Amino acid sequence: MSSINIPAICFIAASGTGKTSLLEQLIPALQKRGLRVAAIKRSHHDFEIDQPGKDSFRLRAAGAKAVIIASKYRKAAIFESADKAEPELDSLIALLDAKTIDLVVVEGFKHAPIPKIELHRKALENPLLHIKDPYTVAVASDVALDLAGLPCLDLNNAPAIAEFIATTLLNQPVEPPADLCSIEPQGLLTLEQALAHIKTAVQPVRQTRQIPLASALDRVLAEPVISGLNLPQDRQSAMDGYAFMASDLTPAGVDLILAGTSSAGHPYADLLKSGQCIRIMTGAVVPEHADSVVMQEQVGINGKHIHIPGTVKTLNNIRQSGEDIKRDEILLNAGKQLTACDLGLLASAGVAEITVTRKLKIGFFSTGDELRPVATELATGQIHDSNRYILGGLLAESCHEVNDLGIVPDNPKTLEQHLLAAAGNHDVLISTGGASVGDADFVHEILSNHGTTQFWKLAIKPGKPLVFGSIKGSYFFGLPGNPLAVITTFQQLVKPALKMLMGAAELKPLRIRATCTSDLKKSPGRREFQRGILHQDENGELRVASAGKQESHLLTVMSRANCYIVLAEECGPVTAGEQVWVEPFDTRI
């Protein structure tokens, strides 16, 4: 392997640990450090990346041992392995141009003699398999592990893993800890960096409340709930039909005597005897000794004689006691934000009261001399304040106690007074507008004078000017003024922060691949959250179209969108037909 001419690092983990998801975050983080990254992924399948019917596919089918397809955007080469020999990592790396690549990240090839990082996720309960491998340089885990001197990195902190690789493997100088203000004005923070800073800054509220189940929707469990019952409690029928003993059935079928009925809420009082069956309804208790239920449509009825054909499947159609959950098992973990389904689950276990974290007190206001409340006539230059309605809607969850603090003009003194009066009385304050660098933008300056600024300005669009910090014990988000920037920054940053504050388990947004049916404008630089309309075509394929012009004041475009098309920082324009990442808007049950 001495022939490897480009530094490479291998990531190993059990499947499901999130190797590719980590690399998706790590590659931009490495790129941000000026590194040009290539990726190699080991596959154990007879994979196909070409498509039947394409010219390149036809050339290969005609017998070409290698096919190269190239345009001004990218090149692809497909080599057929004639001997089906296992691929060698060094010969794959040799295909890359050392003049244009600084680092190769490798998925798989766990036996290759190159530096390795083993990934670990506690919930999967997989043992660490490679810590004794002399090439393993670190473990990245979602929990702190004591590894006898081997570094344990944070699996959810791609920038920190990038720093580790850059400093230990590539000898880049160690940067001072990222003081966010110092990053400005040279660079903009990525979304992940901003979220990592929020995670470090936010201390979850500790106070709890005991509340009745009926008012628990959206509240966050402060402690696990243990089931006091087996669910279901009894063995129940899953059908309307007849309960019988499997041992009575012969290949020729059997005639059984109808001995009684068990319906929901009215169990059959006796034991079932051989030669008998009982009429039974869905959800009714299956009597002792009965082990099978046959659907009513499958039997023949002649007075009290029920004929069960020999072909009927036995030991079927019975819900076992404790099948859903057993007594003393955890029904729901602390940190679960309760959905309608969770309320049903808790109710089924007879739980009447639960302990949740207290509500967050959140205040919000709009800033801008141009803003007027709804139901007022507009003079030239004035607009109605939409942002407070957006925020009111976005914050409408029972775990929030929300205060609308009105409209504040673009006057630094008034804004300062307003902010100082509200700070300290709220867990979180959110303002919109005035967060940028215009002549009437004072939010950042006031926060810096009276509190601490954690960051300002992000590499996302919409939402570049965004101030996060704290003032008099309140966390503060100064969101941009454009309504769409308010929505996007709320969803991407404020909402995760509120969840962290309530101690809610982290929920990563679902991102899926879809074929883009529109050309999209995009310049490399910031991550864009473009408004899209996602649908499934007649073949079940996911397709996404632009919802319209992508300027951040166009609320009608956002209103008809059902997803974001998420375009990575380095991505340029998208041509219709390309695959893109899509983040559907949130829906919960």
**Positions that interact with ligand AMP (CB under 6 A):** 366, 368, 370-371, 383, 385-387, 432-436, 438, 480-483, 553
Round to whole Å and give the CA distance between 56 and 75. 12
Pick 26 or 460: Cβ nearer ligand AMP: 460
The two three-digit tokens of residue 338, written as one number: 């309760």
C-alpha closest to that of 244 among 195, 307, 190, 151: 307
Rounded to whole angstroms, the maximal C-alpha distance in the chain is: 93
**Shortest distance, position 208 Cβ to Mg ion, whole Å:** 39
Smallest separation, CB 485 to ligand AMP (Å): 8
Q: Shortest distance, CB of residue 459 to ligand AMP, whole angstroms?
A: 18
**193 binding partner (options ligand AMP, Mg ion, none; Cβ < 5 to 8 Å by kind):** none
For the CB of residue 379, give the shortest distance to Mg ion in the complex, in Å.
17
Q: Which of 241, 335, 368, 462 binds Mg ion (CB under 5 A)?
A: 368
Is 399:494 a contact under the CB 8 Å cutoff?
no
Q: Tell me if 445 sits within 8 A of 401, measured CB to CB.
A: no
Residue with Cβ nearer Mg ion (7 or 481): 481
Closest CA to 26 of 187, 190, 162, 174: 162
| Total of residues contacting Mg ion (CB under 5 A) | 4
Question: By CB under 5 A, is residue 480 in contact with Mg ion?
Answer: no
Q: In this structure, what token pair is assigned to residue 231?
A: 């669910």
CB of 112 or CB of 407, closer to ligand AMP: 407
Residue 453 interface partner, choices ligand AMP, Mg ion, none, CB cut-off 5-8 Å depending on type:
none
Closest CA to 455 of 477, 481, 429, 428: 477
Task: Read off the amino acid at residue 379.
Answer: A
Choose the one of ligand AMP, Mg ion, none that binds residue 436, judging by a C-beta under 5 to 8 angstroms depending on kind: ligand AMP
CB 428 within 8 A of CB 419: no
Measured from the CB atom, is 485 or 497 closer to ligand AMP?
485
Minimum Å gap between C-beta 56 and ligand AMP is 48
Least distance in angstroms from the C-beta of 388 to Mg ion: 14
CA angle 200, 203, 205 (to 5 degrees): 155
Binding track, positions 101-140, relative to Mg ion; x by CB under 5 A: ----------------------------------------
Q: Given candidates 7, 363, 433, 462, which one binds Mg ion under the rule CB under 5 A?
A: 433
3-state secondary structure 251-304: CCCEEEEEEEEEECCECCCCCCCCCEEEEECCCCECCCCCCEEEEHHHCEEECC
Decide whether 7 or 433 has the Cβ nearer to Mg ion.
433
- In 3-state terms the chain splits into helix, strand, coil percentages (rounded to 5) of 20, 30, 50
Shorter beta-carbon distance to ligand AMP: residue 6 or 555: 555
CB of 390 to ligand AMP, least distance (A): 8
Shortest separation between residue 472's beta carbon and ligand AMP, angstroms: 23
Enumerate residues 6+ apart whose C-beta is below 8 A from 366: 385, 387, 388, 406, 407, 408, 431, 432, 433, 481
Task: Compute the distance between CA of residue 276 and CA of residue 273 in angstroms, rounded to an integer.
Answer: 6
Q: Which is nearer to Mg ion, 433 or 496 (CB)?
A: 433
308 vs 435, which CB is nearer to ligand AMP?
435
User: Which residue ranges make up the site for Mg ion (CB under 5 A)?
Assistant: 368, 433-434, 481
